Amino acid sequence: MAAIIDGKKISAEIKEEVKQKMAVLAAKNKTVTLAVIQVGNDPASSVYVGNKKKACEYVGFCSLSYELPENTPQEELLSLVRELNERKDVDGILVQLPLPSHISEDKVIQAISPDKDVDGFHIQNAGRLFVGESGFVPCTPAGIIELLKRSGIEICGRECVVVGRSNIVGKPMAALLLQENGTVTICHSRTKNLTEVTKRADILVVAVGKPKFITADYVKEGAVVIDVGIHRNAQNKLCGDVDFDSVFPRASAITPVPGGVGPMTIAMLMSNCLRSAEQK
């Protein structure tokens, strides 16, 4: 039977640490400011943006909110990003994804100054991560490393399998596990005999974007299973990419959905913003 890795508790600890460090900065009359841009009013994005603003308030950051209409021209968004790049009082810039289809996400992400790219999506930060230099690391995989470390789970020398190779989760996750001296395999939609590969994993990270895709058949007895997926089922209940009920008896530790990886993403965003301000 698996131990539950409590993302709610660990994310609360991280936010508390950020809050305390922020109090030290505030005593020196310093502020930390995150600018959040949302284009259009996708309901899920509005919830994520709202949660990020709430977290800023909790830790003592200022947040600047830009809610732009769906039909905002790309050039207008790019010029707002450039303006925020120049502002000395802004430490982090976050553009909520997905963007409407007439806007190139890549162009917008690459327009953010790498020094304010607290999402860690800029190509310079991605490159730094892969060569092992310090930079901003994408919040979800950074949060997973914190979950593992703070739960006392050893990564060094262990077989780590990541299912999914997106630029925001799978690839940076693999790079971070490698940095921690794991033996890393990345799987994707063209992987042959997926169950054979995932069954090698001591640590299995699943970011495949398909509800309950990973069942007990994919999991070695005693593996640590990290579920990145977030889905809402027909009953409006949240579930992950892992079939929790079937995997739970087989794993040694597992993240639940909700309450696992999800809360860590925002905690690491706060941590990245603080770092940006401290580096100034």
Active site residues: 52, 96, 119
Q: Would you say 92 or 170 has its CB closer to ligand NDP?
A: 170
Q: Within 10 A of 260 (CB to CB), how many other CB atoms are there?
A: 29
Least separation, in Å, of the C-beta of 83 and ligand NDP? Answer: 28
Q: CA dihedral defined by 266, 271, 277, 280, rounded to 10 degrees?
A: -130
161 bridge partner residues = 185, 204
Least separation, in Å, of the C-beta of 10 and ligand NDP? Answer: 14
Helix (H, G, I), strand (E, B) or coil at 145: helix
Least separation, in Å, of the C-beta of 7 and ligand NDP? Answer: 9
- Please list, in sequence order, all residues whose beta carbon lies within 8 angstroms of the beta carbon of residue 258, skipping any fewer than 6 positions away: 230, 238
Residues 232, 186, 201, CA angle at the centre, nearest 5°? 85
Q: Would you say 120 or 164 has its CB closer to ligand NDP?
A: 164
Q: CA–CA separation, 261 vs 6, rounded Å?
A: 9
Residue nearest to ligand NDP (CB): 166
Q: Would you say 100 or 209 has its CB closer to ligand NDP?
A: 209
Q: CA–CA separation, 182 vs 238, rounded Å?
A: 30
Binding site for ligand NDP (CB under 6 A): 140, 163-166, 168-170, 187-191, 194, 207-210, 228-230, 241, 261-262, 265
Closest-CA residue to 171 (of 203, 134, 201, 126): 126
Amino acid at 60: G
Least separation, in Å, of the C-beta of 14 and ligand NDP? Answer: 14
Least separation, in Å, of the C-beta of 28 and ligand NDP? Answer: 32
Helix (H, G, I), strand (E, B) or coil at 274: helix
Least separation, in Å, of the C-beta of 146 and ligand NDP? Answer: 13
- DSSP H/E element including 253: strand 253-254
The two tokens of residue 239 are 């579930």
Query: Residue 265 in contact with residue 226, Cβ under 8 Å?
Result: no
Task: Give the CA distances from residue 187 to residues 65, 159, 193, 256, in Å, rounded to whole numbers and listed in that order.
Answer: 37, 13, 10, 22
Helix (H, G, I), strand (E, B) or coil at 140: helix
